[in-house]
Amino acid sequence: MSVEELRRAFLFASEVEERIRRFRTERLEILTNNEGPLAVGADGETRLVMQVVPRASFTESISLSFDERGGTMWPWPLGASGANPMYSLDGLVAYSGPEEQSGTVRAFSTLFRNGIAEAVAKLNVGGKDGQRNIYLTGVEQGIASGIRQILGEYKRRSIPAPYTIFVSLIGIRGVSAPIDEWRGSINYPYRSDRIMLPELNIDARGAADVPENTLKPLFDLMWNAFGQRGSPSYDESGKHVRR
């Protein structure tokens, strides 16, 4: 490649990265205001937002078609054992909860027509003595399960890597995440309303690995945000261990 061709390729790659980050920012504003396809909980409640963005969504002409009548229906909401389908301008939406109560739901997921996947779920906040705690180990499990399903769907639909994973927590001000609240561990309430973890980029090799291994850097940072050393779901060697 000539110098000019290299320059154009670099500028194009930078533009794609910026568009991916802008997608995240714009969607978070919409979801923070509960203006997505469905409302998740009440305004201001603590919510998890997870997005997986294939680079091909911004470099190729991906236009997915949807038909949930084939016996399996995707995308499943995080932590759901069942789901109801709904079409939207963006793509296919699935939400958890009774079909007749679609005004406010516990969780929903969207598979966009350009291949982007998004999952939003309300997080339970509570604890002894009126504390506002969340169970981050359960959040990890939900994220890993969601990523496993999304990457499986990308493989089925031949949507190639690389992918960018975004994890955000909104409505999080004043919430703590103790490793073990029953053993008196120190709580460090988060001081802002939003946590936007750094993006995690994975290639085809990372996508083929088990999600728990791929996601460890994000999980460690999520615990760091609440004053903890890192995720307790891994041993000293970095191997994932069930808790």
pLDDT of residue 68: 55
State the Cα torsion 104-109-111-112 to the nearest 10°: 50
Whole-model pTM: value is: 0.90
Residue 5: which H helix or E strand, with range? helix 3-32
Low-confidence ranges of the chain (pLDDT < 70): 1-13, 68-74, 98-102, 129, 181-185, 243
Going by their DSSP bridges, the two strands 200-202 and 194-196 should be labelled as: unpaired
Q: What is the pLDDT of residues 78-125, one digit of tens each?
A: 988 778 888 999 999 999 876 556 678 999 999 999 999 999 999 999
Residues forming a β-bridge with 48: 121, 169
8 Å CB contact between 77 and 109: yes
- Quick one: which of 7, 57, 64 has its CA closest to 27? 57
pLDDT of residue 172: 96
Q: What contacts 92, CB < 8 A, 6 or more positions away?
A: 66, 68, 74, 75, 85, 86, 110, 111
8 Å CB contact between 175 and 132: yes
Q: How many CB atoms lie within 10 A of CB 8?
A: 12
Residue 216: which H helix or E strand, with range? helix 216-224
Question: How far is Cα 225 from Cα 194, in angstroms, rounded to an integer?
Answer: 11
8 Å CB contact between 59 and 160: no
Buried b (16+ CB within 10 A) or exposed e, 98-116: eeeebeebbbbbbbbbbbb
The two tokens of residue 13 are: 């790659």
Question: How far is Cα 83 from Cα 80, in angstroms, rounded to an integer?
Answer: 7
pLDDT of residue 107: 94
Question: How far is Cα 67 from Cα 126, in angstroms, rounded to an integer?
Answer: 39
Distances (CA, A) of 219 to 13, 22, 152, 167: 27, 23, 21, 10
Q: State the Rg of the chain over Cα.
A: 19
pLDDT of residue 177: 92
pLDDT of residue 181: 53
